[in-house]
Amino acid sequence: MGELCLLLQIVTLQVDKEDRWLWNLEKSSAYFVRSAYNFQSSQHVVVTPVDVNMLWQKHIPLKVVVFAWRLFHNRLPTKDNLIRRNVLDNNSCMCVSGCGSQETANHLFLHCSLFGLVWNGILHWVGSSMVTPFDVKDHFTQFIVGGGGSQVRSTLLNAIWFDTVWEIWKERNNRIFKVKECSIMQIVDKIKSLSFFVVEGEKFSILFQLPWLVA
């Protein structure tokens, strides 16, 4: 609020002038996609570290934790990585969902128009909302701690996040290698079931007592 008040102090209202939008990246003050693209692509990429204590959780299967670690370091065999290693050619770069975009980790797990709906179902289930960030590491941190809450809640959200990316990856592989598809609701239901059973025994009873987490 203090920063907003400071900004308003330098604003001068002129009754004889009409309000209009100005695009500061162009001398003409007109908006062009080119200047917006150049501005975005020239920005320094900030690498967000993931807290190791949030990654290595004893109640999450080791194979899922290792999978998440590979995801955070962009070491999964997504199509863009396979093309970079000359395993696939450039004609095989498209997302298996048919959304029309190239498959990268950030796209597949967050921004795909199909698989992104999985997160909508999960957020509705846990009674939360968030603006999807660009990077999976930022999404992980925001999903776990962005809404605040107790340590128990954070632990459960941690498990749910891991289960979600794991099921999205399994669905992706099933569509590629087995030519089998599940609906979004079926994927969400799998995540719900898996989340109940990966939480260790002493937290299992608490899981059913939380009003924000219902089937």
DSSP collapsed to 3 states, 160-208: HHHHHHHHHHHHHHHHHHHCCCCCHHHHHHHHHHHHHHHCCHHHHHHHC
Q: Please tell me whether residue 124 adopts helix, strand or coil conformation.
A: helix
Residue type, 47: V
Beta bridge mates, 102: 94
How confident is the model at residue 11, as a pLDDT? 58
Q: Please tell me whether residue 14 adopts helix, strand or coil conformation.
A: coil
How far CA 56 is from CA of 12, 67, 122, in Å, comes to 53, 11, 22
- On whether the CB atoms of residues 139 and 132 are closer than 8 A, the answer is yes
pTM (2 decimals)? 0.71
Structural domain spans, the chain = 52-207
How confident is the model at residue 193, as a pLDDT? 84
Token representation of residue 208: 């059913």
Q: Please tell me whether residue 30 adopts helix, strand or coil conformation.
A: coil
Token representation of residue 2: 């203090």
pLDDT, block means (10 residues), the chain with 215 residues:
54 71 77 73 54 66 89 94 92 93 95 94 88 90 74 81 95 95 94 71 44 45
What is d(CA 177, CA 179) in angstroms, rounded to the nearest whole number? 6
How confident is the model at residue 211, as a pLDDT? 44
